[in-house]
Amino acid sequence: MAGCGEELKLLGMWASPFVVRVQIALRLKGFSYEYVEEDLQNKSELLLRSNPVHAGKVPVLIHNGKPVCESSVILRYIDEAFSGAEPSLLPADDPYGRAMVLFWAAFIDDTLLKARSQALRGETGEEKEQGRKKAAAAMATLEGVLRESKARFFSGRDGPGYLDIMLGSLLGSMRATEEICGLQTFDPTTTPLLAAWAELFCALDAVEPVMPRVERLVEYAEATQPRTAVSSTTN
Amino acid sequence: MAGCGEELKLLGMWASPFVVRVQIALRLKGFSYEYVEEDLQNKSELLLRSNPVHAGKVPVLIHNGKPVCESSVILRYIDEAFSGAEPSLLPADDPYGRAMVLFWAAFIDDTLLKARSQALRGETGEEKEQGRKKAAAAMATLEGVLRESKARFFSGRDGPGYLDIMLGSLLGSMRATEEICGLQTFDPTTTPLLAAWAELFCALDAVEPVMPRVERLVEYAEATQPRTAVSSTTN
């Protein structure tokens, strides 16, 4: 168990949704960890040394001196390296269930995020409009996944799992983007389950203190280059 | 164990490196499976029903009637659903080892493939040249990973594992691209370990019969739209 002689250090940056993923996973498991805020314009030696392949992108989780990079890899590592630490993020003893979760996680990081990126950075108005439509369709698809879970969370339990963290960690950034550019996070009238899930997720003790506030994200985006945070973090 | 009352059906298309991944994994494990070649211009009802989210992209592995999509997800499923079936693709009982493998697998599917795509489809000559440089750098990085494995395979054993399959499955397509556009797969003089590994990998009994022949891939690419295969397959 982490906390009993285990050393966990997370190198992060508060505005990165991918860092938020790791924070939520560690807090859900109830692990003690040291959080180190990085200045991405002036990265620490430790960060550069821990993720040399991706030039010091965050998040990096350092466990007893050994670094693990990329949020989706870190989440699985947290689940596997401390087995027995509840809750399980991925369904234990259910290979098919795990495959389904990983499939939908890839859908979030590929299909949904690419659609949103196209909506924001498409070269023409038409391209942006297509991106908006794809993003809305992806959210509608995720509404269906939540409906099929027959629970308030994607995990199918009465608490969050891997997929809840993968999508939920994006909510702060998505809402800030909505504020700045009008790109809707989701439409509560067509995705009522997602709307209720988002409320529930953001109010969790493991989530609320580490989810970046929308006002602060908007302020940060306005004060810096629009892509600073994104280009220095990995998913 | 697959083959003892288990039904495995793979929906694929011969030229797709992502389908090749699954074929190699199934063959390495020694599983019996039915391979169904799909016409991607006229997809079967079964394929469309099995991967509706991605409009019938291949590969899809159907295990006892239940579909699993996306090659990296399928590979992990094959490793976990039939535990005890040797060889293990991911290092068993070694969460840190598994995290490292998944990190490098993401490097192949993101960093390497994106660099190659930029080299082939960049909008300017300069952009293409940058893509070429990034692809060469990614291969040099992978040479270092292979060197660190202290074995002839990325698995660190004397036989292939997850990472060998993830990269090795691309060799046919990469060599065909080299033939068509001159984009080098890798430079044997700067990556001698990769060159020896590629020879060894392609000659394996589990690989040789399912690795698409370069001449056939070149012929196929010349006869069809250049992106047909890629746009209808997922990684």
> pLDDT tens, A9-63?
999 999 999 999 999 999 999 999 999 999 999 999 999 999 999 999 999 999 9
CA angle A200, A62, A6 (to 5 degrees): 85
Nearest to B22 by CA among B58, B66, B65, B64: B58
At residue B83, the pLDDT reads 80
> What are the pLDDT digits (tens) for A142-154?
999 999 999 999 9
Cβ-defined contacts of B152-157 (< 8 Å, 24+): B152/B196, B152/B197, B152/B200, B153/B197, B153/B200, B153/B201, B154/B104, B154/B197, B155/B87, B155/B91, B156/B91, B157/B87
Flag if A53 and B107 touch (Cβ within 8 Å). yes
The DSSP 8-state label assigned to residue A233 in this structure reads: B
**Nearest CA-CA distance, residue B206 and chain A, Å:** 24
User: Mutate which of B18, B75, B103, B139 to disrupt the A interface (most A C-beta within 10 Å)?
Assistant: B103
> What are the pLDDT digits (tens) for A176-207?
999 999 999 999 999 999 999 999 999 999 99
At residue A235, the pLDDT reads 54
A224 vs A218, which has greater pLDDT?
A218
> What are the pLDDT digits (tens) for B21-60?
999 999 999 999 999 999 999 999 999 999 999 999 999 9
Task: Report which secondary-structure segment, H or E, holds B61.
Answer: strand B60-63
Structure tokens at B169: 């499955």
Across residues B91-97, what is the average pLDDT?
A: 95
* A69 inside 8 A of chain B by CB: yes
Residue B229 has pLDDT above 60, yes or no: no
**Residue A1 — very low, low, confident or very high, per pLDDT cuts 50/70/90?**
very low
Phi, psi at residue A58, to the nearest 5°? Answer: -105, 160
**Nearest CA-CA distance, residue B59 and chain A, Å:** 13
* B103 inside 8 A of chain A by CB: yes
Residue B1 has pLDDT above 90, yes or no: no
**Nearest CA-CA distance, residue A95 and chain B, Å:** 5
Alpha-carbon gap, residue B15 to A9, rounded angstroms: 44
> What are the pLDDT digits (tens) for A125-184?
999 999 999 999 999 999 999 999 999 999 999 999 999 999 999 999 999 999 999 999
In the sheet where A60-63 sits, what is the strand order?
A34-37, A8-12, A60-63, A66-69
In the sheet where B60-63 sits, what is the strand order?
B34-37, B8-12, B60-63, B66-69
Domains of chain A are 8-81 (3.40.30.10), 95-227 (1.20.1050.10)
Tracing tokens 């659903």 back to the chain, one arrives at B81
Alpha-carbon gap, residue A116 to A122, rounded angstroms: 10
> What are the pLDDT digits (tens) for A51-90?
999 999 999 999 999 999 999 999 999 999 998 899 999 9
